[in-house]
Amino acid sequence: MARVRFTADYDYKPTRQCTIGYKAGMELTVKRDCADKAVAAGKAEEIETPGRATGGSE
């Protein structure tokens, strides 16, 4: 899995029967294959995964 920001609309086809559409400006976690293809097409940029908030007292 990878965290990306889409810089342009992008259609990902994991299979011939399925298309997933991503809109420019969306930031979300996607499968590594999708991230690699979108970045290679110039439609997305990989971003840092937000850190987990730590619970408990200090």
10-residue averages of pLDDT along the chain (58 residues): 97 96 97 97 92 61
pLDDT in the model for residue 55? 60
Look up the pTM and report it.
Answer: 0.81
Integer Cα distance of 58 and 50 in angstroms: 21
pLDDT in the model for residue 5? 97
Q: Maximum distance among all alpha carbons in the chain?
A: 52
pLDDT in the model for residue 33? 96
